[in-house]
Structure 1
Amino acid sequence: MWLPLHTVCLRGQTACRRSFVSVFLKRSGHRDANVSHFSGRSSKSCQALVYRTHGDPSRVIQLENIDLPPVGAKDVLVKVLAAPINPSDINMIQGTYAILPDLPAIGGNEGVAQVIEVGSLVESLKAGDWVIPRDAGLGTWKTEAVFGEDDVSSLPNNIPLLSAATLGVNPCTAFRMLSDFEELKPGDTVIQNAANSGVGQAVIQIAAARGIKTINVIRDRPQFAELSERLKAIGASYVVKEEDLRRPEMKELFKVCQKPKLALNGVGGKSATELLRHLQFGGSLVTYGGMSKQPVTVPVSALIFKDVKVRGFWVTRWKRDHSHDGSAFRAMLDELCALIQQGKLTAPACTEVELQDYHKALDAAMQPFTSSKPVLIM
């Protein structure tokens, strides 16, 4: 789920372009003949959340006016509608993430935008289309942007705004983990921690649509019963507290449902170890996050006597590995959008925050185990 902010090279007519502020202020002059003949829109400015040094997001992020480049022949001008704040965005700003952008940089790797204008050689998009980034690195925390046609993918514009804004990371992560590690059939079981996270809620709903049962582990809290009912309302089969994983009640649970083939770990530490204990023989533990900041410890008995498989997943790596052929990504988006249109996949709990109030959104995103995803509304 963690996303890098990286250099994006446009295929076709435009030159390599990064999402950093410095490139917006001074764009490379390298273009081929087709592009140079296009009379692009004159430069205009937009508002963007910029950081020029790493550190506490509430201190280093500033709302600034920056210049947009002209719209090239293979570019689209978009108005950003909404962009969430994910943990990876915070990590990048803090400078603690494994891959960091050149500075200054614009925050945000996810969001939904509406196409306002298309270049003369754009074929797959038109004005009015909704689009989301195909990969990280575009810098979505801004009001308008010029993106390459190949940098974005279209979505139906009749799905809820928050579903579109949060589609590219968490639901894609959930979809791939449920599809790529074990052959799951209706009636099979998946166990996961961090079940109330964005990924967790997507796992619950996608699994339910496929007839797969889910055992959903969350931390104990004063509102446990309320949260449990909310997760069951979106399709959770069972909701248990982390401390219940070692209690006799789990044996009773497995009398009425199969032991899980797949365990999904977004926490790490003891929580991941407890998931391993309940996997069936030959099952897989897939780690996609580590909110506890503790390593995953695998008992020797699980490896020897249960032959479990321990894997990791990073949706950005998957997207890069499939960038040469966009059909797999397109098919995944189409299936996810169909679930949204059928009412089987909803956005996670979100808090909408106006761009000007970005400090509130950043503070909320930095709270541990937050139950609502802040989304910047442009």
Structure 2
Amino acid sequence: MALLPLGLLLLKSTKCYASRRVPVRNLMSKQLVYSKFGDPLCVVKFRESAIPQLGDLEVLVRMLAAPINPADINTIQGLRPDLPNLPHVAGDEGVGDVMEIGAKVTYVEPGQRVVLSSRQLGTWRYYGIYKEKDVHKIPPNIPLAEASMLTVAPVSAYRLLHDYKQKPLCSGQYIVQNGANSAIGQSVIQICKAMGVYTLNIVANHCGYESVKEHLLSIGATKVYTLEEAEELACCGLSFQRPTLALNCIGGRYEDVMLRLLERCGDMVYYGGAYCLPVNQYMRCDVWFHRFRLSDWDENTTNVEKELTYKYIQELIVMGKFNAPMYEPVMLKYFDYALRNTCRCEAFSTLNYVFDFTLI
């Protein structure tokens, strides 16, 4: 009989625990690390290192899946204002099973499934040690893909839809967004569908526009337009209610056309790639402008608010009303393939890449 690798034996043994602490010795973790900021294809390296002993308030997590987000790429490039100390394990979010807990940990037990609820903790690795306050328990019936992408795209989408309106969005109203093909854009579409809110979605007319449009309509988009189609619509007038909220992650002409479509005294939120752009107030002085960054929300919100947000999304998943954005699972050792494709068509592709640590 062939011998199983140590890591696989440990993973199989996590279903049964003799005590609160599971002794883990001589455990090695494969991970993606960068020691300087720059082109992800040049600076990210595949490394293996030993797992240290736990602190009293730390937990050891066997990672199961972790996505590649645009924010991960921007962090590696050194383009974000909140950069980690180097060297650093890449990855903002992911899902895994708790293997071992520190002596003073009370929130989780070995064997429970958790997601990472804070940013830049390093999830592109097989094993990670995290602080108790940075993990969040989730039910085991949440599929791995949805669980791995739970805390960034859908949370951002939910907050964008709920935090920036003077009056809450109601069923039958419209919102407009650019970058609708992104993970956040796909999440906005599905959450709006569950709320009964209609979505006008603007995407680029390259990178397979017809298939992008077909996919967005299949998950609940009301209308999907190219930039040129949206500009023509803005010039000719709408045959339906104008949107009350605009979600802007690109800027430029994509932003201008949304401002022309937005109803009087509506709201526009800058996020993602448009977060640092100057406000386009000269074009619409009646519009309320806002900025959203998930790391700010993570830092300033309460644990109760986080719990309510996660719970809402989990309920949609269980009811079949929310699916993970389109993705391709990839083994960690093929990281260069996933990074290359993410960087090449990052702003205009519906496909996301997820490191699947259960693949052998």
Q: TM-score range by the shorter chain?
A: 0.7 to 0.9
Distance 1:217 1:122, change over 3 A: same
Query: How far apart, CA to CA, are the structure 2 residues paired with 1:157 and 1:39?
Result: 20
Show the counterpart of 2:172. Answer: 187
Amino acid at match of 2:311: D
Choose which of 71, 80, 83 in structure 2 pairs with 1:100.
Answer: 83
User: CA RMSD of the aligned region, Å?
Assistant: 2.1
Gaps of at least 5 residues in structure 2 are 1-20
Contact 2:101 2:110 in 1 (8 A): yes
Contact 1:273 1:299 in 2 (8 A): no
Contact 2:65 2:355 in 1 (8 A): yes
The Cα of 1:234 is off from its aligned counterpart by 0.7
Distance 1:308 1:377, change over 3 A: same
Choose which of 206, 224, 237 in structure 2 pairs with 1:221.
Answer: 206
Show the counterpart of 2:280. Answer: 298
Show the counterpart of 2:143. Answer: 160
Q: How many pairs align?
A: 333
Length-normalised TM-score, structure 1 = 0.83
Query: How far apart, CA to CA, are the structure 2 residues paired with 1:343 and 1:266?
Result: 27
Query: How far apart, CA to CA, are the structure 2 residues paired with 1:222 and 1:319?
Result: 33
Q: Which SS does the other structure have where 2:320 is aligned?
A: coil
Query: How far apart, CA to CA, are the structure 2 residues paired with 1:41 and 1:71?
Result: 10
Q: Please list, as runs of the form range in 1=range in 2, the aligned pairs for 1:329-368 lying within 5 A after superposition.
A: 329-368=306-345
Q: Which SS does the other structure have where 1:100 is aligned?
A: coil
Query: How far apart, CA to CA, are the structure 2 residues paired with 1:81 and 1:139?
Result: 13
Show the counterpart of 2:263. Answer: 280
Contact 1:78 1:146 in 2 (8 A): yes
Are 1:318 and 2:297 counterparts?
yes
Show the counterpart of 2:71. Answer: 88
Q: Which SS does the other structure have where 1:50 is aligned?
A: strand
Query: How far apart, CA to CA, are the structure 1 residues paired with 2:45 and 2:187?
Result: 32
% same residue: 35
Length-normalised TM-score, structure 2 = 0.87
Query: How far apart, CA to CA, are the structure 2 residues paired with 1:364 and 1:201?
Result: 19
Contact 1:47 1:63 in 2 (8 A): yes
Q: Which SS does the other structure have where 1:102 is aligned?
A: coil
Query: How far apart, CA to CA, are the structure 1 residues paired with 2:148 and 2:41?
Result: 22
Greater Cα shift, 233-242 or 243-252: 243-252
Query: How far apart, CA to CA, are the structure 1 residues paired with 2:86 and 2:53?
Result: 22
Q: Please list, as runs of the form range in 1=range in 2, the aligned pairs for 1:89-238 lying within 5 A after superposition.
A: 89-182=72-165, 183-221=168-206, 223-238=208-223
Gaps of at least 5 residues in structure 1 are 1-37
Contact 1:83 1:108 in 2 (8 A): yes
Distance 1:375 1:279, change over 3 A: same
Show the counterpart of 1:71. Answer: 54
Contact 1:204 1:235 in 2 (8 A): yes
The Cα of 1:48 is off from its aligned counterpart by 1.2
Contact 2:201 2:224 in 1 (8 A): yes
Query: How far apart, CA to CA, are the structure 2 residues paired with 1:300 and 1:371?
Result: 33
Q: Which SS does the other structure have where 1:124 is aligned?
A: coil
Deviations 1:114-137 (Å, cap 9, x if unpaired)?
111223332221222221111112
The Cα of 1:248 is off from its aligned counterpart by 4.6
Show the counterpart of 2:17. Answer: none
Query: How far apart, CA to CA, are the structure 1 residues paired with 2:220 and 2:341?
Result: 27
The Cα of 1:42 is off from its aligned counterpart by 4.3
Contact 1:82 1:376 in 2 (8 A): yes
Greater Cα shift, 332-341 or 131-140: 131-140
Contact 1:40 1:70 in 2 (8 A): no
Contact 1:353 1:376 in 2 (8 A): yes
Query: How far apart, CA to CA, are the structure 1 residues paired with 2:26 and 2:241?
Result: 60
Query: How far apart, CA to CA, are the structure 2 residues paired with 1:227 and 1:103?
Result: 37
Query: How far apart, CA to CA, are the structure 2 residues paired with 1:104 and 1:334?
Result: 34
Greater Cα shift, 259-268 or 132-141: 132-141
Show the counterpart of 2:36. Answer: 53
Deviations 1:120-158 (Å, cap 9, x if unpaired)?
332221222221111112111111012121111111121
Amino acid at match of 1:157: P
Deviations 1:261-320 (Å, cap 9, x if unpaired)?
1000111111111111111111011011227x99456252510xxx10111100110110
The Cα of 1:330 is off from its aligned counterpart by 0.5
The Cα of 1:249 is off from its aligned counterpart by 7.5
Q: Which SS does the other structure have where 1:352 is aligned?
A: strand
Q: Which SS does the other structure have where 1:247 is aligned?
A: helix
Amino acid at match of 1:113: G
